[in-house]
Amino acid sequence: MKLYTKIFIAMILGVLVGAIGGPRMSILEPIGGIFLGLINMIIIPLVLASMVVGVTSIHDPKKLGRVGIRSLLMYLGTTVIAIMLGLLFAYLFKPGAGFLYKVPGHTNLVVETASPSNIFLSLVPSNPFASLASGNILQVIVFAVFLGFAINFTGEKAKPLLDFMEAIAESMYTLTGMIMELSPLAIFAIMANVTGSFGLSVLFPLLKFLTAYFFVCALHVGLVFGSILWFMAKVHPLPFFKGMYDAMLIAFSTCSSSAALPANMHCTQRNLGVSKNITSFILPLGNTVNMNGSAIFQAMAAIFISQVYGIDLSFYSLLMIVITATLSAIGAAGVPGTGFIMLSAVMVSAGLPLEGMAMLAGIDRVREMISTVVNILGDAVVAVYVAKAEGELNEKKYYREENIQFEPQKAQT
């Protein structure tokens, strides 16, 4: 039985047991606490190692020229837009409003607003080891980014350090898988406890969140990706989505950007007419550093949890969400469950309780199906745009059998 099936069954059973058992189900609370403690245990090494490995994937200085900079700026831009859309519609839909879950030490918490200069000064760790020890996620991410670039510029002498970081990253991915195997039991205990304490009304915010998330993903794909293709690449969007059909199915079914990468490269080259040179560089890079679907989720999840717990987020907290979610997209591995784990970094940076993640764990597999599709589409959109800008897009292949004649001068009519 697949893990996501076990999680779904555990969530349903937890709701039923909690509805029947009532407040007595609080006896299961320690089980959920242990699970959350295990997640908290792997945050720092996972973020540090995966971020360093992600940055070092840009290892060829010659490719960090026109094509590299253009693609990185596009990845960064679409990620920030995804986060902003997530924040905007989380506030508009208010999926967590009306379900006030009080937590000791988090009652109507308002994080003090710092000046812009202090905000940016706080990003740079004066002692990275102290940041690691104290769990300052944002400073750990900044340190990892600089360390990754330093490894690139050092070259062969830094290879042992890179190998060490890759070993840590792979070990953390394995440990993440081991911890996630315990998630059905933990989700059962958490849902039984929460449902027993608050009743079946706990389900409505989750369904509302999932609906709002799907809407924002569809909006991002149609509005942002469609605009890039139409106005910047000057090609019709319809052949793009038809050409990406196979890769979308694999992404949807596996929930893994890495598993969908071969299909993504095949569709981008064979169906969309992007040259092999562009595809072989941009798609693996995007698979590592570009996670639009995950970025939307992290932004919406942070606002959802703040609404559930009755926590008022200041401008500083919102800025930390944007910065951390953007940087986390660089280090998120393209494997199932990583986006959910990386959410913990966003939660910590915004001062939100990690316990809130448990509420979203039960629906995370369904969310991740759509999220992975958005992730791989974002990579392919940038590949088409860069290929067109570099004169390496075969438009005859792109349009294939489509009877579409795109005329840039009529694009806005």
pLDDT tens for each residue of 96-148: 876 655 544 444 444 444 445 565 677 788 898 998 888 777 688 788 878 98
Q: Which two tokens stand for residue 258?
A: 């890495």
Averaged pLDDT score across all residues of the chain: 81
Q: What is the mean pLDDT of each run of 10 residues along the chain (413 residues)?
A: 75 86 86 78 80 69 69 91 95 80 44 51 84 79 84 89 90 80 82 75 79 96 96 95 88 76 86 86 78 92 89 86 80 61 81 80 80 93 93 90 51 38
Predicted pLDDT at 139: 82
All structural domains of the chain with their residue ranges: 3-410
Could you tell me the pTM of the whole model? 0.72
**Hey, what amino acid is at 381?**
V
Question: Residues 164-214: pLDDT tens digits?
Answer: 998 998 888 788 778 878 878 887 887 788 778 766 766 777 888 999 999
Evaluate whether 390 touches 67 at the Cβ level (below 8 Å): yes
> What is the fold of 3-410?
Proton glutamate symport protein (1.10.3860)
Evaluate whether 47 touches 342 at the Cβ level (below 8 Å): yes
Q: Smallest Cα–Cα separation from 108: which of 355, 314, 310, 315?
A: 310
Torsion sign over Cα 308, 314, 317, 318: positive
